[in-house]
């Protein structure tokens, strides 16, 4: 009986889990596998493609010596951090006002903000390009800092609205009876309580800003001002020649900051997403 239960559990739980993990982790294994292969080994069809026969650091050295990858990383950090801070500030104020102040059009406003998130970026970047040109921010990292919140704020506002809904109103009412102002309540009560929601929204903003491609491609053409997603594609793909080794090395190095952010704040991220779904 015990053996049958163990077999049944393995077939129903562990086997699907193992297949799912293989599906998720195989691209990362292939990335690492490509990074430490030479071009000669990579294009040799007679060798086993799933095994590194002669490990090499040639691709990593090519990335750091023949490109300005560190500059691209610094640009990406600058844009991602500032965009995240701007989006979080606007989303916190908007979500609190919609969920707590309850003005006449609060609910339609919340729905409208979220629906704006559904507008494709391929449509928005054309009018935004005109705005950026008028502001004389073309080929500047500030063009990305100002445009990224257009798709970060709507989703973060919706996320924080759901989290604010889970915080009892009685706590604010008691503080108001004691003479606390809205600003003090927001700063000393609301923000500490919704910290998991803020962290989850911050991780979401940082990840999207880090990996954004369309706006960075449209607004940045100077090599020294590019972010990692654009720099790798435009500088390591020359016509129909793909430098797969350095490309995979760049992708691997660029994925490390995002992976670290998730690993440190994964518990808060899950708690924030759970709180956002509460009614």
Distance of alpha carbon 1 from alpha carbon 228, whole angstroms: 56
From the list 162, 264, 250, 265, the residue with the least C-alpha distance to 211 is 250
Which tens digits make up the pLDDT trace of 221-241?
888 899 999 999 888 887 778
Supply 88's token pair.
């979080």
Distance of alpha carbon 55 from alpha carbon 53, whole angstroms: 6
Residue pair 71/254 in contact by the 8 Å Cβ criterion: no
From the list 208, 191, 192, the residue with the least C-alpha distance to 121 is 208
Which tens digits make up the pLDDT trace of 133-165?
888 888 899 999 999 998 899 888 888 887 888
Q: Please enumerate in sequence order all residues whose Cβ is within 8 A of that of 243, keeping only pairs 6 or more positions apart, or say none.
A: 62, 236, 237
Per-residue confidence band for 278, with pLDDT thresholds at 50, 70 and 90: very low
Which of the pair, 174 or 209, is modelled with greater confidence? 209
- In order of their start, the domains of the chain are 2-56 (no CATH), 68-276 (1.10.3720.10)
Distance of alpha carbon 28 from alpha carbon 8, whole angstroms: 30
Which of the pair, 261 or 246, is modelled with greater confidence? 246
Distance of alpha carbon 132 from alpha carbon 219, whole angstroms: 8
- Entry pTM: 0.83
Length of the chain: 279
Which of the pair, 103 or 55, is modelled with greater confidence? 55
Residue pair 219/144 in contact by the 8 Å Cβ criterion: yes
Structure confidence at residue 266 (pLDDT): 62
Share of the chain above pLDDT 90, in %: 17
Which tens digits make up the pLDDT trace of 62-106?
899 888 999 999 999 999 999 999 999 999 988 888 887 777 777
Structure confidence at residue 70 (pLDDT): 92
Structure confidence at residue 43 (pLDDT): 83
Structure confidence at residue 4 (pLDDT): 64
């Amino acid at each position: 009986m015990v053996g049958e239960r163990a077999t049944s559990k393995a077939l129903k739980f562990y086997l699907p889990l193992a297949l799912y993990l293989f599906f998720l982790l195989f691209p990362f294994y292939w990335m690492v596998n490509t990074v430490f292969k030479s071009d000669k080994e990579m294009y040799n069809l007679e060798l086993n493609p799933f095994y590194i026969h002669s490990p090499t650091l040639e691709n990593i050295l090519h990335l750091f010596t023949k490109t300005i990858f560190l500059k691209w990383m610094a640009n990406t950090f600058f844009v991602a951090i500032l965009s995240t801070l701007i989006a979080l500030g606007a989303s916190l104020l908007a979500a609190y006002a919609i969920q707590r102040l309850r003005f006449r059009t609060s609910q339609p406003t919340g729905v409208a903000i979220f629906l704006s998130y559904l507008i494709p970026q391929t449509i928005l970047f054309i009018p935004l390009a005109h705005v950026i040109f008028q502001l004389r921010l073309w080929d500047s990292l500030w063009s990305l800092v100002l445009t990224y919140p257009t798709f970060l704020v709507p989703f973060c506002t919706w996320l924080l609205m759901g989290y604010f809904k889970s915080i009892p109103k009685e706590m604010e009412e008691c503080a108001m009876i004691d003479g606390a102002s809205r600003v003090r309540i927001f700063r000393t009560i609301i923000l500490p309580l919704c910290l998991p929601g803020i962290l989850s929204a911050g991780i979401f903003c940082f990840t999207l800003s880090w990996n954004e491609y369309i706006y960075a491609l449209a607004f940045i053409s100077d090599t020294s001002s590019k972010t990692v997603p654009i720099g790798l594609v435009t500088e390591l793909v020359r016509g129909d020649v793909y430098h797969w080794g350095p490309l995979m090395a760049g992708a691997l190095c660029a994925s490390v900051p995002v992976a670290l952010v998730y690993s440190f704040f994964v518990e808060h991220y899950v708690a924030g997403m759970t709180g956002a779904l509460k009614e």
